[in-house]
């Protein structure tokens, strides 16, 4: 083994899990299902799967050990780390599998990190999950939809597969809940948490980003050496804050140690993700103050990824959450206050290596009276349409008697069934249709799945395939702070009269015409990384379409092609429709009469009478984003049941049509 391997091994042996190795082997050998609770950084994600590898149970032979993660970024980073620790090549003995990206080698890979969503998809095709010997559900306390459903599925499967071992891992007290749910033994890993002193603000902060930047600089100027972790909510906010902190720190050179600000969020390119583990810069002069690292992160750093050396935590008290808006029946990401459990987790990050400090940018009264005790599981706040479709696919019929970890509200289930029925995925008796069965195969929202599956009827499946891929990746438009005008001009090239879906198609086609060239993309203010991902996704979806014999078709005539694409989109997104309310740019959603506006980034050249939209976002006001013009008569034609029965009993549609 290499010297690097030995160094890593020494560090690993100091992790708290190693003190529980004997206990682990004993409990794991004697039980089919076990629960493990341990604070972040104790070594659960990286070490427990390796323990299972070395447990060398007979049942392991020829089968795979799976370890799930809620996020793609931590799935990949854990697999990379463990392949280094085991001194093997990533993608061979140790691999990972996330949606649209599989780094495993059949026959060779015996330890596979994967997203919870990916394992759930596999369960649809093979309900016995027969290629796995042990399934580890990690970060169960995050209560993502997919992990919650997997818990229910695995609990049932355990009876039918006595050879299957199941481990549920959690970073918080939720472990007790899981222990009860599975009636399984609990291993508690005691960390070596140091005390963390918590500070509150005297008054509420009107601008939490500004307050956060100010606090980071205050710590850098006044506090002892030690790295800082700042929690913000999303990519743009994080990038802007990093830039500003770096700028302001550069204004006081020679007084304080060198400061490096490193962003961390899910869509960050993987080479840049690794930077969070780099040591801080050395002092500028031999006896000068040491360098300091500032990590500005989403709640990935709350429990999923532990960065050693953090002594100070700055917690503004917000996160982005996927929330369902019952009024307009759309999911969207919203900045929301965190829960008390989250706040405590965040503070805990400061005490991993030595006593630390946590600066909460809210008042103590707000902490006590305003924050919820714990976060609401995703199951209870999201649209369940995709989940319900998946459950039908694996043969679950009785949703009410399904063994939920936390039962969703009956009306949430009803709404999901209603949408699936309107999409034609289930019939009025609640049976999965042939169309629904194929829709469930695609790793897309049911609406988009439907559009893709029916697109050959419109002879535009080639284009819809591209649009589906482009809707599955993060934002492709770059808008660097010091080049905003140029970036906007580059983007304006793609504005058109049809809508944003056509713009996405055109961007992708131009990228292909330019041979997937990185410098072409960047000089046009497009993210080459995101485009490359869209390209991979497109290939993957195309391969799936071939498997289900969905033909790739395209219309030569440009005008006709464009019409066909917009009509096909109506077949899936007929519930996400708005019409022009006045000349001031207000639109009204058909479902619930909500007043919305086209998002400023919308590339429509006109303000059409009727539009479909891909997402709804609430910032300073409600916006709809990724918008395309449609015609009212298409909606009546492609979603007649929905429009006749549900929405326009009062004749609103007819009135609108007459206009
Ligand atoms: P847990 O899952 O209990 O939160 P992990 O197994 O993720 O703990 O991490 C154990 C230790 O390994 C932590 O100290 C963490 O900082 C370190 N670690 C994990 N991944 C990496 C990496 N890619 N590079 C360096 N250190 C890492
Ligand atoms: Mg972990």
Q: pLDDT at position 480, please?
A: 80
Predicted TM-score (pTM) of the model is 0.86
Helical H runs in 424-557? Answer: 434-439, 446-454, 461-471, 484-492, 500-513, 518-523, 528-547
* Long-range contacts from 91-98, C-beta under 8 angstroms, 24+ separation: 98/72
Determine the Cα–Cα distance for residues 41 and 305; give it in Å rounded to an integer.
8
Determine the Cα–Cα distance for residues 460 and 455; give it in Å rounded to an integer.
6
Nearest to 641 by CA among 574, 580, 593, 547: 574
**pLDDT tens digits for range 104-139:** 999 999 999 999 999 999 998 899 999 999 999 999
Q: State if residue 306 touches ligand 1 by the CB under 6 angstroms criterion.
A: yes
Atom of ligand 1 nearest to the CA of 17: 3
Q: pLDDT at position 110, please?
A: 94
**pLDDT tens digits for range 546-598:** 999 999 999 999 999 999 999 999 999 998 999 999 999 999 988 778 899 99
Burial of 532: CB neighbours in 10 Å, binned 0-12, 13-18, 19+:
middle
Q: State if residue 51 touches ligand 1 by the CB under 6 angstroms criterion.
A: no
Q: Is the ipTM of this complex over 0.95?
A: yes
**pLDDT tens digits for range 224-252:** 999 999 999 988 899 999 999 999 999 88
Q: State if residue 44 touches ligand 1 by the CB under 6 angstroms criterion.
A: yes
Q: pLDDT at position 659, please?
A: 46
Q: What is the bridge-based pairing of β-strands 622-630 and 595-598? A: parallel
Give the Å distance between the CA of 306 and the centre of ligand 1.
Answer: 6
Give the Å distance between the CA of 158 and the centre of ligand 1.
Answer: 30
Atom of ligand 1 nearest to the CA of 40: 4
Give the Å distance between the CA of 44 and the centre of ligand 2.
Answer: 5
Q: Ligand 1: which of 43, 142, 301, 349 to mutate, most ligand atoms within 8 Å of CB?
A: 43
């Amino acid at each position: 083994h290499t010297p690097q391997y030995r160094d890593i091994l020494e560090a690993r042996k100091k992790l708290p899990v190693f003190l529980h190795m004997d206990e682990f082997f004993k409990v794991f050998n004697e039980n089919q299902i076990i629960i493990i609770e341990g604070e972040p950084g104790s070594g659960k994600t990286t070490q427990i799967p390796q323990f299972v590898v070395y447990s060398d149970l007979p049942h392991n032979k020829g089968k795979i050990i799976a370890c799930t993660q809620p996020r793609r970024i931590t799935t990949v980073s854990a697999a990379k780390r463990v392949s280094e620790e085991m001194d093997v090549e990533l993608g061979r003995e140790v691999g990972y599998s996330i949606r649209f990206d599989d780094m495993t080698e059949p026959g060779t890979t015996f330890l596979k990190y994967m997203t919870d969503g990916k394992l759930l998809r596999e369960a649809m095709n093979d309900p016995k999950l027969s290629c796995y010997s042990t399934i580890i559900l990690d970060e169960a306390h995050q209560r993502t939809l997919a992990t919650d459903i997997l818990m229910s599925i695995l609990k049932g499967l355990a009876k039918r597969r006595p050879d299957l071992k199941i481990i549920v891992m959690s970073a918080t007290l939720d472990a007790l809940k899981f222990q009860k749910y599975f009636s399984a033994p609990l291993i508690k890993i005691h960390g070596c948490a140091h005390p963390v002193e918590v500070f509150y603000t005297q008054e509420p902060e009107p601008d939490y980003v500004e307050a956060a930047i100010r606090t980071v600089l205050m710590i850098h100027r006044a506090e002892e050496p030690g790295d800082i972790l700042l929690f913000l909510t999303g990519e743009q906010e994080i990038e802007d804050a990093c830039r500003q902190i770096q700028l302001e720190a550069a204004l006081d050179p020679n007084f304080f140690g060198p400061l490096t600000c490193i962003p961390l969020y899910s869509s960050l390119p993987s080479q840049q993700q690794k930077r969070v583990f780099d040591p801080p810069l050395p002092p500028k002069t031999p006896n000068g103050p040491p360098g300091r690292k500032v990590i500005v992160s989403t709640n990935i750093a709350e429990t999923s990824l532990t960065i050693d050396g953090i002594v100070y935590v700055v917690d503004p008290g917000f996160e982005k959450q996927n929330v369902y808006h019952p009024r307009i029946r759309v999911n969207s990401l919203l900045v929301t206050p965190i829960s008390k459990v989250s706040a405590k987790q965040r503070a805990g990050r400061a005490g991993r290596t030595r006593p630390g400090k946590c600066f909460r940018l809210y008042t103590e009264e707000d902490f006590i009276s305003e924050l919820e005790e714990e976060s609401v599981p995703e199951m209870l706040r999201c649209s369940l349409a995709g989940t319900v479709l998946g459950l039908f696919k694996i043969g679950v019929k009785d949703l009410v008697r399904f063994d939920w970890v936390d039962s969703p509200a009956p009306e949430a289930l009803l709404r999901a069934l209603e949408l699936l029925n309107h999409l034609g995925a289930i019939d009025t008796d609640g049976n999965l249709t042939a169309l629904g069965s194929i829709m469930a195969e695609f790793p897309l929202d049911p609406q988009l799945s439907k559009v893709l599956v029916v697109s050959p009827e419109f002879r535009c499946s080639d284009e819809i395939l591209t649009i589906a891929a482009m809707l599955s990746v993060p934002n492709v438009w770059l808008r660097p702070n010091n080049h905003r005008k140029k970036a906007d001009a580059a983007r304006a090239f793609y504005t058109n009269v049809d809508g944003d879906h056509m713009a996405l198609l055109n961007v992708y086609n131009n990228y292909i015409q330019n041979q997937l060239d990185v410098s072409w993309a960047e000089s046009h203010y497009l993210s080459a990384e995101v485009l490359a991902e869209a390209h991979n996704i497109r290939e993957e979806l195309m391969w799936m379409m071939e498997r289900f014999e969905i033909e790739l078709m395209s219309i030569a005539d440009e005008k006709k092609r464009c019409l066909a694409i917009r009509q096909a989109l109506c077949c899936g997104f007929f519930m996400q429709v708005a019409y022009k309310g006045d000349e001031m740019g207000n639109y009204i959603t058909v479902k619930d009469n909500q007043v919305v506006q086209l998002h400023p980034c919308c590339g429509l050249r006109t303000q059409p009478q009727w539009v479909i939209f891909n997402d709804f976002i609430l910032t300073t006001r409600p916006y709809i984003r990724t918008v395309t013009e449609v015609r009212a008569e298409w909606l009546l034609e492609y979603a007649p049941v929905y429009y006749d029965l549900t929405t326009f009993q009062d004749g609103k549609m007819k009135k609108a049509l007459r206009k």
